[in-house]
Chain A
């Protein structure tokens, strides 16, 4: 089970990268708070 979960980590990371890229486009993602966009994702 632990091996399976660790095996899923690259897929989790891929999802997080996709979400992070999607989160850069809008003016603001959340209702009030805006997490700091990583410099590498700023154009």
Chain B
């Protein structure tokens, strides 16, 4: 199975050169993974969005979903490669959907879609977030409460931004893209989102 293994030799190199302890090597590796996977993830999403001619709506979907995910967590894939493939497929697909659909929607229809999505997201996020993972468990109930509150606040902030754009009649495609990003991220909090991540992992491992 194909795996990214760049971080392990790089951390081992740092350990040898700087005489690090095994714990320090693990910290350096974790830092490297965060930097490398973030850059490759967003770069691949932007490239696919650009190739499909919907770069800005794709970036909006990815940033909105990533912003909420920082606080709410969500379903996890077991490998960074599967993560990249899902991101490369889903964000540009939703970005393209927003770019194609938005010109056919009136301001009122868009307003109703954003408002209905907001109520649904708020309901699901308040019940299910934060969703943690075995790789990064949330052990404190205080932190859990704080992340849930911040998740709800971030849904509210994104929606306020969307309403402002709608009020000044600007960028309807980006407004719709932000909603699709929120809806996608909210979906990853649900049982269906977890099943989807597991399905993608199993699909990759069968090949």
| A24 proximity list for chain B (CB < 8 A) | 136
A-B contact pairs, 22 of them (CB 8 A): A6-B17, A13-B18, A23-B31, A23-B34, A26-B70, A26-B71, A27-B131, A28-B70, A28-B72, A28-B133, A29-B70, A30-B37, A30-B38, A30-B83, A31-B65, A31-B91, A32-B83, A33-B41, A33-B82, A35-B80, A38-B27, A40-B27
B60 at interface by CB-CB < 8 Å: no
Interface residues on A, range: 20 to 34
A31→B173 CA distance, assembly (Å): 22
- Cβ A27 vs Cβ B77 within 8 A: no
Tell me if B's interface is mostly helix, strand, loop or mixed.
helix
- Cβ B83 vs Cβ A33 within 8 A: yes
Q: State the B residues within 8 Å of A (CB).
A: 14, 17-18, 20, 23-24, 26-35, 37-38, 41, 62, 65-66, 69-77, 79-80, 82-84, 86-87, 91, 129-133, 135-140, 147, 151, 188, 197
- Cβ B34 vs Cβ A13 within 8 A: no
Given known pairs A20-B27, A38-B26, the reply for A27 and B71 (CB within 8 Å) is: yes
Contact of A34 (CB < 8 Å), options: B29, B86, B130, B133? B133
A9 at interface by CB-CB < 8 Å: yes
- Cβ B72 vs Cβ A27 within 8 A: yes
A27→B72 CA distance, assembly (Å): 6
| B27 proximity list for chain A (CB < 8 A) | 16-17, 20, 38, 40-41
| B132 proximity list for chain A (CB < 8 A) | 27-28
- Cβ B31 vs Cβ A17 within 8 A: yes
A12→B18 CA distance, assembly (Å): 11
- Cβ B77 vs Cβ A33 within 8 A: yes
A42→B29 CA distance, assembly (Å): 15
- Cβ A27 vs Cβ B35 within 8 A: no
| B62 proximity list for chain A (CB < 8 A) | 31
| B70 proximity list for chain A (CB < 8 A) | 26-29
Given known pairs A20-B28, A28-B74, A35-B34, the reply for A13 and B20 (CB within 8 Å) is: yes
Given known pairs A6-B17, A9-B18, A13-B14, the reply for A31 and B69 (CB within 8 Å) is: yes
| A3 proximity list for chain B (CB < 8 A) | none
